[in-house]
Amino acid sequence: MTTKSSPQIWLYDTTLRDGTQCEGLSVSIEDKLRIAKRLDQLGIPFIEGGWPGANPKDVQFFWQLQEDPLKQAEIVAFCSTRRPNTITAAEPMLQAILTAGSRWVTIFGKSWDLHITEGLKTTLAENLAMIRDTIEYFRSHGRRVIYDAEHWFDGYKHNRDYALKTLEAAIAAGAEWLVLCDTNGGTLPHEVSESVQTVIGHLSSVICQEPITNDQEQRTTPQIGIHTHNDCDLAVANALAAVMAGATMVQGTINGYGERCGNANLCSLIPNLQLKMGHGCIGEHQLTQLTEASRFISEVVNLAPDEHAPFVGRSAFAHKGGVHVSAVERNPLTYEHIQPEQVGNRRRIVISEQAGLSNVLAKARTFGIELDKQTPQARQILQRLKQLESQGYQFEAAEASFALLMYEALGARQEFFEVKGFQVHCDLVEGKETSSALATVKVAVNGQNILEAAEGNGPVAALDTALRKALLNFYPQLAAFELTDYKVRILDGHAGTAAKTRALVESGNGHQRWTTIGVSANILAASYQAVVEGLEYGLLLHSQAEAALKA
């Protein structure tokens, strides 16, 4: 519960504007709308949608949200102050912001005198007028204003008195929030704390000259926010330092997306603020959706999720060492700082050559298999695991293959089909690859042999397609399966082209994803094993789901 010592912290998401400046990230209007609605469901109060007028995409995004508004979040338009020596009402970019129709507008202005004299080529006095005129213009049109003090900490270090004057101008013009931006990402936590404390004290003394009531204090004391970048790997730490010093708004992006090294990661900030520091941010139920939201947005922007990200990463609560697993089985507090379910994540027991019997027993339970240390198959599984990993297998990355290994050791592995053999043919014409490969497979199902061929844009795709064609009449559910990822790694590079290869295949059925593995000196044989086990495990999941429904 939020108390006087741990006030509400207002979250401001800028994934759709600052986050899209991340190298390799590109989103369509439809992508932006999907992300905005997911952030709305997560309970983020402020969602910065972009800079209307800067590009047609952002204009259309705001128009569409006028037709289909968000449920609870405020969508925020973003732009700069007016240009030097211009009339505010005549600025086309400011007209576009009004047309966007958002109730809140974020204006950024210059805090660092270097940027004013060298970048804008204007005077310090004109910059103050630019801040004041722009905010007053939007206030006169009924807009509520958040002021982002760009390069605040650099400006504060080089010319403290002037930097403070820019904030005074913003407050006097009607800004309701002053957000201090570490635009270059070079500030340290203790510097952030000192600056935030100075700003709060200075502006309170400027604005609040006489003793006032608590109600008046809430209306008149400036509200301070923080916007940090991660160039020193301190964006989250700096944002937390600002909150400890009195900031009540935190700006950041989902998964830390942003220019250069990224922005403060809201997926780390939210649980730290809420679970560690006791601040109210979003509802407890919404907090349990954090991991899913992180992965959903990574899928939409087509960037692989960071498996080792704190709180929401797949490895955030993964335990690999046998001693760790044994302790966590007794009491999760021994190696977990929070319950993974609080942020919608889950504990994972990782299987590898470093595993002990505790890992095998715990992993078996996740597949609904109850074993104990006295079960002979448990030690057989562990021995087989270590033997295969010494050959290049890596079951921590291929849990579906490990499940099949366990079922086989227990004599419970279902035989859905048997591959009798396969051939893959690729042609080279005049030194150029053809556009397709041809695979032929022979499969036995229930004693019936099927011979099938298919083309693909490569040998693995052709093999996968041929297998599906051969099996589809027997298992219609295969139509919903898809190969979602395929990775190959050379294990002993010193052997050159004769090196052993590890193939990892990720498959999915629209609801679940699973990964299988194959290892061989023949890249096609390794891929074949991973593809076949991927289809087999998908059929096993379908069979188990049907059995559960009947039960």
Q: Specify the pLDDT at position 392.
A: 82
Q: How far apart are CA 8 and CA 293, in angstroms?
A: 22
89 or 392, greater pLDDT: 89
Tell me the pLDDT band of 5, cut-offs 50, 70 and 90: low
Least confident of 28-37, 269-278, 454-463: 454-463
Q: Specify the pLDDT at position 322.
A: 67
Tell me the pLDDT band of 429, cut-offs 50, 70 and 90: low
214 or 481, greater pLDDT: 481
Q: Which residues share a beta bridge with 145?
A: 105
| pLDDT per position as a tens digit, 54-75 | 889 999 999 999 999 999 999 9
pLDDT at 241 exceeding the cut of 80: yes
Q: Specify the pLDDT at position 549.
A: 83
Summarize the confidence of residues 434-456 as an average pLDDT. Answer: 89
CB neighbour list of residue 111: distance below 8 Å, 6 or more residues apart: 149, 150, 151, 152, 154, 155, 156, 163, 166, 181
Q: How far apart are CA 181 and CA 28, in angstroms?
A: 27
Burial letters for 166-179: b for 16+ Cβ neighbours within 10 Å, e otherwise? bbbbbbebbbbbbb
Summarize the confidence of residues 356-381 as an average pLDDT. Answer: 79
Q: Specify the pLDDT at position 97.
A: 96
| pLDDT per position as a tens digit, 21-45 | 999 999 999 999 999 999 999 999 9
Q: Specify the pLDDT at position 207.
A: 72
Q: How far apart are CA 298 and CA 317, in angstroms?
A: 19
pLDDT at 446 exceeding the cut of 80: yes
Element (H, E) at 421: strand 418-425
C-alpha dihedral sign at 401, 404, 405, 406: positive
pLDDT at 412 exceeding the cut of 80: yes
Least confident of 7-11, 192-196, 391-395: 391-395
**Average confidence score pLDDT of the chain:** 89
| pLDDT per position as a tens digit, 310-354 | 999 988 998 877 677 778 777 888 888 999 999 999 887 776 655
Q: Specify the pLDDT at position 352.
A: 64
Integer Rg of the chain from CA: 29
The listed range with the strongest mean pLDDT (182-191, 343-352, 437-446) is: 182-191
Summarize the confidence of residues 263-284 as an average pLDDT. Answer: 97
Tell me the pLDDT band of 3, cut-offs 50, 70 and 90: very low
Structural domains of the chain, with CATH:
10-300 (3.20.20.70), 318-390 (no CATH), 418-550 (3.30.160.270)
317 or 363, greater pLDDT: 317
- For residue 428, which amino acid is it? L
pTM of the model: 0.73
Least confident of 132-146, 272-286, 427-441, 522-536: 427-441
Q: Specify the pLDDT at position 304.
A: 79
